[in-house]
Copies of this chain bind each other. A is one copy, B any other.
């Protein structure tokens, strides 16, 4: 992994004006300015954590062959946003761009996770993404438009999915079932600026990172239908052990095992 510095750069939202509550106007704005959680900070409170970071995490994990640095960047950014872990997010957003993730792809990841990890997680990340984009002079001309020409829909597959969900939950929450069709599978998933395979990679990363294994089976199957290999899927789980914790990774393992075993060879 290319690392421009050993320090982990981060950002903090801070308000420029120290106005009193009473005097603050609706136009008072927060500025996002770069700060650091330096390697020295970590060393000063947890020398072992620094050692694990330098050796196993940065030295080994990111260089393992089964998942590219670009994919690892998507996995990491998705996990951080899905867990509302903002302190290292700017660093990993920047690293993602350096690893070949396009600004338009990061933008789609943010929108995608508003639906798959909750709006609040996406909104909390907006100022940090904005700061990174601003720092690198990335304008909206590099992002996908709000309403692009969509990818062609596989009508047969989507009809099967809609029928299955409709049978399960059509009478329980018809509104949610309809939104799932209209907003997610006939709109969000067809936005062309993030390939379906990458959209799946982000989705399963967010699910595993948030411990939402109940929804993992269909999405891991969809990810593999979309081109994710078994070796890559296993490496996603391995990678997320470090970023989302061993328990979340281990909770994903029996689901992955079951999916791997049941898929046609």
Given A52-B114, A173-B256, A245-B116: A210 and B211 interface contact (C-beta under 8 Å): yes
From the candidates B17, B19, B246, name the one contacting A116 in the complex (CB within 8 A).
B246
> Is A161 part of the contact surface with B, judged by Cβ < 8 Å?
no
Chain A interface mostly: helix
Quick one: which of A96-114 are within 8 Å of B by CB? 107-108, 110-111, 114
- Decide if B212 touches A248 in the complex (CB within 8 Å): yes
* A33-50 near B? 1/0 per residue, CB < 8 Å: 111110001111111111
Given A18-B14, A21-B33, A253-B172: A48 and B144 interface contact (C-beta under 8 Å): yes
> Is A229 part of the contact surface with B, judged by Cβ < 8 Å?
no
Shortest A34–chain B CB gap in Å is 5
- Decide if B120 touches A48 in the complex (CB within 8 Å): no
Residues of B within 8 A of A47 (CB): 107, 140, 143-146
From the candidates B84, B126, B215, B251, name the one contacting A251 in the complex (CB within 8 A).
B215
* Bound-complex Cα distance A244 to B113 (A): 10
5 pairs of A and B residues whose beta carbons are closest in the complex? A85-B120, A118-B245, A51-B146, A30-B35, A47-B146
- Decide if B242 touches A119 in the complex (CB within 8 Å): yes
Given A183-B52, A235-B175: A129 and B210 interface contact (C-beta under 8 Å): no
- On chain A, the number of residues with a Cβ less than 8 Å from chain B's Cβ atoms is 123
- Decide if B49 touches A110 in the complex (CB within 8 Å): yes
Residues of B within 8 A of A140 (CB): 43-44, 47
CB closest residue in chain B, given A134? B21
From the candidates B24, B88, B237, name the one contacting A176 in the complex (CB within 8 A).
B237
Shortest A46–chain B CB gap in Å is 5
Given A48-B191, A51-B147: A173 and B26 interface contact (C-beta under 8 Å): no
* A142-155 near B? 1/0 per residue, CB < 8 Å: 01111100000000
Given A36-B28, A117-B245, A248-B118: A143 and B46 interface contact (C-beta under 8 Å): yes
- Decide if A36 touches B31 in the complex (CB within 8 Å): no
Instruction: Please list 24 pairs of residues, one from A and one from B, whose beta carbons are closer than 8 Å in the complex, sorted by A's number.
Output: A16-B18, A21-B135, A25-B34, A37-B126, A42-B123, A45-B143, A46-B108, A46-B111, A46-B143, A47-B145, A52-B115, A56-B183, A64-B175, A80-B120, A87-B123, A88-B123, A115-B241, A118-B244, A118-B248, A121-B245, A172-B256, A206-B247, A211-B211, A215-B246
> Is A62 part of the contact surface with B, judged by Cβ < 8 Å?
no
